Structure 1
Amino acid sequence: MPRKLVLTVIDGMKPAMLERAIATGRAPTLKAIRDRGAYVDDCVAAFPSVTPVCAASIATGATPDAHEIPSMNWFSREEGRYVEYGSSFSASRKFGVLRSLTDTVYNMNARHLSRATPTVFELLDDAGVRTAGTTYLMYRGRHEHHVTTDTPLARIANATVFREPVMGPRELFYADLFASRRTGCRGQFGMPGARDAHTGCVGAYLEEHDLYDFMLFSLPDNDTWSHRNGPHAQATSIAAADRQLERLVHAGGGLDRFLDEHAMIVMADHSHTQVERRIRLEPAFADWSLARPNGGGSTDGEIAISPAQRSAMIYVLAEERRSQRAAEAAKVALGVPGVDLAMRRAAPREGVIESERGELHFAPGGDLVDLRGRRWSVDGELAAIGGRIEDGRLLSSDYPDALGRVWSALTCPTAGDVLLSAGPGWEFVDWGGAAHVGGGSHGSLHRSDSLGALLWCGVGPARRDAREQWTVRDAFPMVAEHFGVAAPAGTAR
């Protein structure tokens, strides 16, 4: 068996803030990993660059068209209702707190995440690798776990909402709800500010008792801190995350010994950018019949609007004139201050990106090659994505991997008919009326919240230039290759 591998996800870690934390001596463990291996300061998030979509891409190595998680908030055509994964507590109340919790804890993995895209836990479980995971949105594996009753809060939750078992990695620890072993670690029911410490405690226990070969070590509190305090305050929360990594390596004999005996991948799922202004879509569609939240049940309307931080989707619910109405909705949305891009499909194999800079039509296949090696044909204004062509190569630094990310989002079976991306400084108000003005946020196609940090040692290529452009999907094949397991076709394309 190869040496143990730990995949650490520091939610929303901005590369510049990682570098500041290292430079000021506040992140010695992350510094050691960087110095021993490779570092990428522009790893591209999925689109929309919100946590459920990016977490699914990390866990499966697939794009949204394959894993089928479209956003933080979306409309299920099959059930005729909104799905809300916890944009804010006020948004969850609009859709029904119990419904939102059920969708987030159970349905996201059991029903919404495509069965055709195995998770890293499923892949390694099938190969006999001892898998483990701490609280992370994507946990689906091959081992059944029942709700724990070790704490009074867990017993209350078990009596009211969380009664069904879940399928997860061999060792699963999820917000005090599921715990495969009695570790003595408490996560305060997954409350922000306590989640990293719970991961550090569980990780140290697993290391001390030799209970894993692969562990997903989730550190989400950096994201909450950044939402509240802004992305430029992240050096503090990254330092806090580093202390939990330090607990893990201390349990493994100290930093040098641990890194000699373990492979490490540390990554962000997306980045963060400062939010200064709000975008409200509802007033612009006052003349349209809008499907509204009603506590989680079925709802009617001509369109459904799904805001998700710095991204949003519009669903045309009537099949008649669906394409035409989508084009009309895109025009309306582009007239709203703060909306930067409106994206839709003009034909089964053609996408459209519209902005005040022009309109760009594109399709897979053609003479242009992007930095991921995919081919495209384009017609219209490349200025819509700040793009240019050099020697047959399509470049778009302001909107990294623009066509690939947009196309995979547009062709996601559960996505809206129109996708929206906010301009720098703007955020869509969620259904609960919440936004992060004065703090940080993410979700857009823009580089400001799409480029996160990725570093590794003891695994993968020796240098970052092994790929011209790295994305969050690239961790999956690195893990698979480390354990000698063939990654499914279509991952990290």
Structure 2
Amino acid sequence: MPKKLVLAVIDAMKPAMLERAIATGRAPTLQLLIERGQYTDECVAAFPSVTPVCAASIATGTGPSEHEIPAMNWWHRGEDRYVEYGTSFGASRAFGIRQSLTDTIYNMNLEHLSRDVKTVFEHLDDADIRTAGTTYLMYRGRHRHEPSVSTALSRLAHTAFGLPTWGPKELFYADMFASRKTSCRSQLGLPGVRDQHSGCVSEFMVQQDLFDFLLLSLPDNDTHSHKYGPFAQVDSIAAADKQIARVMDAAGGPDRFLEDHAVIVCSDHSQSKVEGEIDLFRAFDGFGLRAAQRPREDDEIAVCPNSRAAQVYVLDRDRRRQLIPRIERTLLALEGVDLTMRMGDHPDGEAIVRGERSRGVKELRFAPRGELSDARGERWSVEGDLDLLGLKVEDDQIRSATYPDALSRVWSALRCHTTGEVLASARPGYEFLDWGGAHHVGGGSHGSLHANDSNAVLIWTGTGPEKASKEQWALRDITPMALQHFGVSAG
């Protein structure tokens, strides 16, 4: 029987800040795991590098073209409405708090996440492996859970929603779902309390021997970094480290814990400093822009800011050929926009990337066929300005340090059927204002294709292959690693 496996996700942990936390003695547990296992500081995120997209890639081992979660804020063509997963309180309020919470808690898993892919919980549930999860955006599993009514806050949530869901065998989601009674409380997922709640219920599950696989979600680092900036992460990484130590101590300390448990620790993306905002709503004022809740007959486009990325959807399908070039020009004229991306008209499919550079607008076209091989072994044909994506070609190998795994990530984002017609990525230092007018200027954010946002942490101990087995690691490698640990087929 393989060891039990804990997958700990520390939201937005920046590799450089993990290394600083270790160097200053603030993250001894993570240091121990690195010393006893494998570590890479270049585990590439999905694009857009926002939490729902990346969480879906971690939980399914696929990119957005397969899992179909396109963004934090997106346009639902089938339901003719915006979906908002909680970019900010103001953005949720713009679309209705109840609808935003319903989309985030229920619809993301039960409606929006593709039924054509399995989550790690579903794979393991089907193999009769005991699964467990703490509050994490992607929790879909094979076990039905009724809402909790054990506390005043959970009863309030039950009154507002009161719907069952499907998750791992043991599910502890804020105070809304609790498969067993514990003394652990999350104040309905209040930032600053979430890591402690995850540590508390995980400690309980270790003591009671309730799982073979546990997803331990530690999201408070992201909130701290948004507010204080990515270079203030040492404190929040130290807090996450204490919760991992707490789980280990429940088994008698790190040595005894690691005798029976393998551990994977990852971040879902990184963060970068924000110094300026980009106002898409003002930029597209001359278009027929669909408002948050007031449809009009002359609506032409839907605009979806996603922190340091954005998407624009064409609603007037008859004017698609006219609108897309206008959308591209409008985006590229904005200070702070780095790149635009869209599919071209090539019959076999072709992606087009454009960016404003010192000598005007540059263009790159590529498709997944050709003679060039990327760091993950995928093959591409590429023509145009390679510098646009920092691409270097040597001996039929194509690489970019500035935009890691760029071709594969852009292609998957554009081929996602729920994505917009035109995608945008911000320059370092800029963020798109959300639907509530909120931004993180003076703090940190993420979402772009740039390495600043995209290089995440991956640590594994007691499981998995050698680091050198892959030139480029990615979030979509994590579920396959977990399945292989238990000898479960991904088919």
Question: Which TM-score band (shorter chain)?
Answer: over 0.9
Query: Structure 1 CA distance, aligned partners of 2:47 and 2:458?
Result: 17
After the TM superposition, which segments of 4 or more aligned residues of structure 1 sit over 4 Å from their partners? 297-300
Post-superposition Cα deviations, 1:370-420, rounded to whole Å, max 9, x if no partner, equal 111111111111111111211111111100011100000001010000000
Instruction: Tell me if the contact between 1:27 and 1:239 (Cα under 8 Å) persists in the aligned partners.
Output: yes
Residues 323 and 397 from structure 1, CA distance in 2 versus in 1: closer, same or farther, beyond 3 angstroms? farther
3-state SS of the aligned residue for 2:109? helix
Matches within 5 A, 1:51-62: 51-62=51-62
Pairs within 5 Å for 1:9-408: 9-160=9-160, 162-294=161-293, 301-347=299-345, 349-357=349-357, 358-408=362-412
Deviation of the 1:25 alpha carbon: 1.1
**Distance in 2 between residues matched to 1:85 and 1:410, nearest whole Å:** 20
The normalised TM-score by structure 2 is 0.97
Map of 2:472 onto structure 1: 469
Amino acid at match of 1:430: D
Contact 1:293-1:299 within 8 A present in 2 as well:
no
| One-letter amino acid matched to 1:345 | M
Alpha-carbon separation, structure 1, partners of 2:284 and 2:26:
48
**Does the 8 Å CA contact 2:290/2:296 hold for their aligned counterparts?**
no
Distance across 1 between alignment mates of 2:284 and 2:155: 44
Q: Distance in 2 between matches of 1:33 and 1:284?
A: 48
Distance 1:437 1:299 in 2: 36
Structure 1 residue matching 2:264: 3-state secondary structure: strand
What is the identity, as a one-letter code, of the residue corresponding to 2:203?
A: A
Cα separation, 1, equivalents of 2:62 and 2:325:
28
C-alpha contact (below 8 Å) 2:305/2:434 kept by paired residues: yes
Cα deviation, 1:45-67, whole Å, max 9, x if unaligned, reads: 00000000000000000000000
SS of match in other structure, 2:49:
coil
How far the C-alpha of 1:294 sits from its partner, in A, is: 1.2
Count of matched residue positions in the alignment of Structure 1 and Structure 2: 485
Among 471, 481, 490, the residue aligned to 1:487: 490
1:303–1:314 Cα contact (<8 Å) kept: yes
The corresponding residue for 1:491 is: none
Q: Secondary structure at the match of 1:276?
A: strand
Aligned mates of 1:226, 1:387 — CA distance in 2? 30
The offset of 1:299, in angstroms, is 8.7
Deviations 1:139-185 (A, max 9, x none): 0000000000011111111112x211000000000010000000110
Write out per-residue CA displacement over residues 108-150 of structure 1, whole angstroms, 9 at most, x where no aligned residue: 0000000001000000000000000000000000000000001
Residue aligning to 1:438: 442
Structure 1-normalised TM-score? Answer: 0.97
Instruction: Show CA shifts across 1:286-315 (max 9, x none).
Output: 2110001018x8997100000010000000
Q: Distance in 1 between matches of 2:370 and 2:155?
A: 58
Q: What secondary structure sits across from 2:59 in the alignment? A: helix
1:343-377 Cα shifts (integer Å, max 9, x gaps): 00112511100001310011111011111111111
Whether the aligned pair in 2 keeps the contact of 1:79 and 1:298 (CA below 8 Å) is: no
1:398-437 mapped onto 2 (5 Å cutoff): 398-437=402-441
Give the distance between the partners of 2:251 and 2:298, measured in 1 at CA: 56
Contact 1:81 1:298 in 2 (8 A): no
Report the CA distance shift for 1:195/1:298 in structure 2 as closer, same or farther (over 3 A). Answer: farther
1:327, distance to aligned residue in structure 2 (A)? 2.5
Task: Calculate the aligned-residue CA RMSD, in Å.
Answer: 1.1
Q: Per-residue deviation at 1:285?
A: 1.6
Runs (5+) with no aligned partner, structure 1: 489-493
Question: One-letter code of the match for 1:474?
Answer: D
Equivalent residues of 1:344, 1:410 under 8 A apart: yes
SS of 2:304 mapped into structure 1: strand
When residues 403 and 210 of structure 1 are mapped into structure 2, their CA distance, relative to the original with a 3 A threshold, is same
Aligned in 2, Cα 1:388/1:170: closer, same or farther, shift over 3 Å? same
**How far did residue 323 of structure 1 move?**
3.8
Equivalent position amino acid for 2:132 in 1? A
Please give the secondary structure, in 1, of the residue aligned with 2:410: helix
Whether contact under 8 Å (1:327, 1:344) holds in the other structure is no
- Mapped to 1, the partners of 2:335 and 2:481 lie a distance apart of 42
1:50 and 1:442 in contact (8 A); partners too: yes
Aligned residue in 2 for 1:8? 8
Please, which moves more after superposition, 191-200 or 321-330?
A: 321-330
Q: What code does the residue aligned with 2:129 have? A: V
Which string of whole-angstrom CA distances, capped at 9 and with x for unpartnered residues, describes residues 309-329 of structure 1? Answer: 000000011111314421221
State the secondary structure of the residue aligned to 1:456: strand
Partner-residue secondary structure (3-state), 2:417: coil
